[in-house]
Amino acid sequence: MFDFGFGSQMNFTALEIPYSDITAYFATHLHTDHVGDFGQIRVGSWTSGRLKPLEVYGPSSNKPEYGFAHFVKHQCESCRWDTESRVHALPAVGAEINCHEFDYSEVGVIYEKNGVRITSFPAIHIMDGPVSLKLEWNGLSMVYSGDTTPGEFMIENALGVDVLIHETFNTVDQLMTRSGYDERSAKVIGTIIHSDPTEAGFVIDKCDPGLCVVFHFFNDFDTAPEMERAIREHYSGPKPTVA
């Protein structure tokens, strides 16, 4: 599973997919909307019958205390009461974690098993650490951007993929008029920390995926038409699925 942000496990549970079907979890970066459900993936899979350590992968940073291993260690420490209250009732191995921290700054394979290959490459988001992830299996490919502004890494690694799941925030105007941001904050968050929809459309056009899904914006009746129009400024390929 790529990312496990707050609320994601509620959606995941609603889909009635058994936790035991997920063999490993991968984080793109350590914002809570991407990793906030860590406690739930750990305990949810444990109480659902996981009989081996939890396998988690995530990026390093420029300092150890900003890296994924630090995050996992202290998340677990903060949940000590939870873990110890369950360890007498559930198989203790379920509390164990195999944490795999990989170099955020490299383009490289971080997972290869049963024909599944996952490659990490740097994302340009905020501070050091964020990555995008590419999954390849059986001749099919998918790239998940995580959070990123436009960059050559994405265009190089997502060129011609079957599915591109790319982030975009709302337009600067929408962030100001609907979300109440001041102009400076809207521009910083909407175009420097994230891709605005015209930027996302530019990257999607360069990557030319078989299918594109955009995410990471307030998707409502009064935002979606403008978002699609902005994406279409540069992208004229298959009609995007707006999620």
Give, to the nearest 10 degrees, the angle between helix 197-207 and helix 224-231. 50
Q: Are 168 and 194 in contact (CB under 8 A)?
A: yes
Closest CA to 243 of 181, 164, 185, 175: 164
Say which DSSP state 193 is in. I
Tell the smallest beta-carbon distance from residue 241 to Zn ion (Å): 22
Tell the smallest beta-carbon distance from residue 46 to Zn ion (Å): 27
> Which of the stretches 24-32, 52-60, 92-100, 182-190 binds Zn ion when contact is defined by CB under 5 A?
24-32
Tell the smallest beta-carbon distance from residue 100 to Zn ion (Å): 21
> Which of the stretches 28-36, 49-57, 151-159, 205-213 binds Zn ion when contact is defined by CB under 5 A?
28-36
When binding is defined by CB under 5 A, the residue of 31, 134, 166, 216 that contacts Zn ion is 31
Cα separations (Å) of 196 from 53, 65, 174, 202? 39, 30, 11, 10
> Which of the stretches 71-79, 141-149, 153-161, 163-171 binds Zn ion when contact is defined by CB under 5 A?
141-149
Which residues are 25's β-sheet partners? 56
Tell the smallest beta-carbon distance from residue 220 to Zn ion (Å): 21
When binding is defined by CB under 5 A, the residue of 3, 101, 136, 147 that contacts Zn ion is 147
**Cα–Cα distance for residue pair 114/189, rounded to 1 Å:** 39
Phi, psi angle pair for 86, to nearest 5°: -100, -25
Using rule CB under 5 A, residue 167 touches Zn ion:
no
**Cα–Cα distance for residue pair 167/195, rounded to 1 Å:** 7
Task: Output 42 or 194, the one with its CB closest to Zn ion.
Answer: 194
Count of positions (residues) in the chain: 243
Binding mask 66-95 for Zn ion (x = CB under 5 A): ------------------------------
Binding site for Zn ion (CB under 5 A): 31, 147
